[in-house]
Chain A
Amino acid sequence: KNEVEQSPQNLTAQEGEFITINCSYSVGISALHWLQQHPGGGIVSLFMLSSGKKKHGRLIATINIQEKHSSLHITASHPRDSAVYICAVSPLSNTGNQFYFGTGTSLTVIP
């Protein structure tokens, strides 16, 4: 059983569309992270949040701690947004001090 579940696994959108990627987790957390991985590229941290909402450009991340759920939204999507988006959490009780990762959502934005 994965502590972090993402949906959808794959997503194809037309340029300009509004995109939502969902993340659910089953453990208490101190923080949730959204990461971006371009094909053949490294992993970049987009957001770290523990409550409410954060916005950076066309990207918005929200979290509902009570429901153990987070969403990543992309407004006015562009082909350069095509990447794998990964949700990760920092668990509250974590003797191994590990991050738990979702399996990622592969996004393709078509011009």
Chain B
Amino acid sequence: GAGVSQSPSNKVTEKGKDVELRCDPISGHTALYWYRQSLGQGLEFLIYFQGNSAPDKSGLPSDRFSAERTGGSVSTLTIQRTQQEDSAVYLCASSPRGASGGGEQYFGPGTRLTVT
């Protein structure tokens, strides 16, 4: 079956512009995670969605970052007024049950964001 897909695969934007990154999770997966991975660094948690519950936004680095998940499926991560330090690979993962349910994560290929 289809895995997690993300678009675009690469995005180059000018400092100060807004960007939207999209994630299509595996059908039926109730949990969806966004992570950021800067060059040579580990995974940094950004935000988590579980079903219809309020999202866990504790990892968002600033109020320029926001995300939504429509209809419990597709998710969009929006970065407003991008800064050069936002340059990173943004990874999405979905899970049938989430961490507390012992579920595995299935990662998308990521979106490489470059802010010039």
Q: Interface on A for B, CB 8 Å cutoff?
A: 30-31, 33, 35, 41-45, 48, 50, 86, 88, 90-91, 94, 96-99, 101-104
Complex CA gap A31/B56 in Å reads: 21
Number of A-B contacts (CB under 8 A): 62
Give, as a whole number of angstroms, the nearest-CB distance from B16 to chain A. Answer: 28
Majority SS of interface residues in chain A? strand
For B58-71 the 0/1 string (1 means CB < 8 A from A) is: 11000000000000
B42 near A103: Cβ-Cβ < 8 Å: yes
B102 near A33: Cβ-Cβ < 8 Å: no
B56 near A98: Cβ-Cβ < 8 Å: yes
Q: In the assembled complex, which residues on chain A have CB atoms less than 8 Å from the CB atom of B25?
A: none
Q: Interface on B for A, CB 8 Å cutoff?
A: 31, 33, 41-43, 45, 48, 50, 56, 58-59, 91, 93, 98-110
Show 6 A/B contacts (Cβ-Cβ < 8 Å), sorted by A: A43-B91, A97-B56, A98-B48, A98-B56, A98-B59, A103-B41
A33 partner, pick from B31, B58, B104, beta carbons under 8 A: B104
A97 near B99: Cβ-Cβ < 8 Å: yes
Complex CA gap A104/B107 in Å reads: 16
Complex CA gap A109/B99 in Å reads: 32
B99 near A50: Cβ-Cβ < 8 Å: no
Q: Which 4 pairs from chain A and chain B are nearest by CB? A: A43-B107, A103-B42, A90-B99, A42-B109
Q: In the assembled complex, which residues on chain B have CB atoms less than 8 Å from the CB atom of A86?
A: 42-43
A99 near B58: Cβ-Cβ < 8 Å: no
Complex CA gap A43/B6 in Å reads: 13
A45 near B110: Cβ-Cβ < 8 Å: no
B100 partner, pick from A45, A90, A101, beta carbons under 8 A: A90
Give, as a whole number of angstroms, the nearest-CB distance from A95 to chain B. Answer: 8
A97 near B31: Cβ-Cβ < 8 Å: yes
Give, as a whole number of angstroms, the nearest-CB distance from A23 to chain B. Answer: 13
Q: In the assembled complex, which residues on chain A have CB atoms less than 8 Å from the CB atom of B48?
A: 96-98
Q: In the assembled complex, which residues on chain A have CB atoms less than 8 Å from the CB atom of B108?
A: 42
